[in-house]
Amino acid sequence: MILIVGPTAVGKTELAIQLAEKLNGEIISADSRLFYHGMDIGTAKPSLEERARVPHYLIDIVNPDETLSLAVFQQKAKDIIANIHARGKLPFLVGGTGQYVRAVTQGWTPPEVTANERLRTELEKIASREERGVNWLHDRLAQLDPESAQKIDARNVRRTIRALEVIMTTGKKFSEQRGQGNSPYHLITIGLTRPRTELYERVDQRIEAMFVTGFVDEVKGLLEKGYSPTLPSMSAIGYRECIRVINDEWSIEQAKVEIRRVTRVFVRRQANWFKESDPRIKWFRVRDGIQNEIMEYIQQNIAAGNDGRSDETAGDSG
């Protein structure tokens, strides 16, 4: 299986499509933001035209008011990969959500702790309060389990609450309870990188394009369909900022400034998941002609695997 990782806006989508076209591949998304129907512009979801070029999976699989647990995602991805292999094709796992990548490549699973509904309800109430709120919860997580706090976006209310729920129920750190197994795949991990200034410029261009193509109207349409602005899905970068525009709290320019800021924070957090120093990831700086270089690397590694040799899986790089 080919794993393609890297920060947001680095160019994973187009490169994965190009490689899959040439290598008889199909693409499984490991980006949790792409699960939701109707959330297209703000998540930079591959277009219908792009998805027509190569089959894509695990995109548009739930509504914004539904949740998809890590365990369910893991099983769905495994079933899809098995089906792709059975048809003689090459699976590409592509995305920037580290825990979802690990769930597939390493058998990473969340702690099997029964939900504590009373505790969860209390934490959800705290998250909704102005005097405490989501940031207070994330700060509390940072005190109890710094490793988990570093890897969970403060805006991801559901994950923050789940981590606190597990810690408070078991008395053990969330980061110490994650199950982990060996990968069943001969995994070839490609990391894409760009200079940070170039990456930020691409992020800024993407944000501008989102607003030009109707990002605010997309969010307005979701609200008109009855989806609450407090849903976990609406915590994706950009959606709450657009809600503030719709509510006349911010101008579009103010929203853009905040989206740029939080996206830069997200890029830095992704660096904690996908470390350029990790020798199990082969990093390529994106530039003209890099597709051929990467394809040659993949073909060499496939040949090595067919000869009975196998690389280690992507460990903590996931």
Q: Which fold has domain 2-110+179-317?
A: Rossmann fold (3.40.50)
Task: Tell me what pLDDT residue 317 has.
Answer: 33
pLDDT at 318: 32
| DSSP classification of residue 237 | T
Q: Domain residue spans in the chain?
A: 2-110+179-317, 117-176
Nearest to 29, CA basis, from 49, 55, 66, 7: 55
pLDDT at position 113 is: 66
For residue 310, what are its two tokens? 């196998």
Could you read off the pLDDT tens digit of each residue along the chain, which spans 318 residues?
999 999 999 999 999 999 999 999 999 999 989 999 999 999 999 999 999 999 999 999 999 999 888 889 999 999 999 999 999 999 999 987 888 898 898 876 666 666 778 888 888 888 877 668 888 889 999 999 888 888 787 777 878 888 898 888 888 888 776 555 567 789 999 999 999 999 999 999 999 999 999 999 999 999 999 999 989 899 899 999 999 999 999 999 999 999 999 999 888 888 777 877 778 899 999 999 999 999 999 999 988 876 544 444 343 333
What strand order describes the sheet that includes 282-285?
56-57, 25-29, 90-94, 2-5, 188-193, 282-285
CA-to-CA distance for 233 and 32, rounded, in angstroms? 9
Domain 117-176 adopts which CATH fold?
Histone, subunit A (1.10.20)
Read out DSSP for 205-271? HHHHHHHHTTHHHHHHHHHHTT--TTSGGGGSTTHHHHHHHHTTSS-HHHHHHHHHHHHHHHHHHHH
In whole angstroms, how large is the CA radius of gyration of the chain?
20
What pLDDT shows up at residue 181?
A: 57
Asked whether the beta carbons of 2 and 305 are under 8 A apart, the reply is: no
Q: Let me know: does 243 contact 223? Beta carbons within 8 Å.
A: yes
3 state DSSP class of 173: coil
Tell me what pLDDT residue 110 has. 60
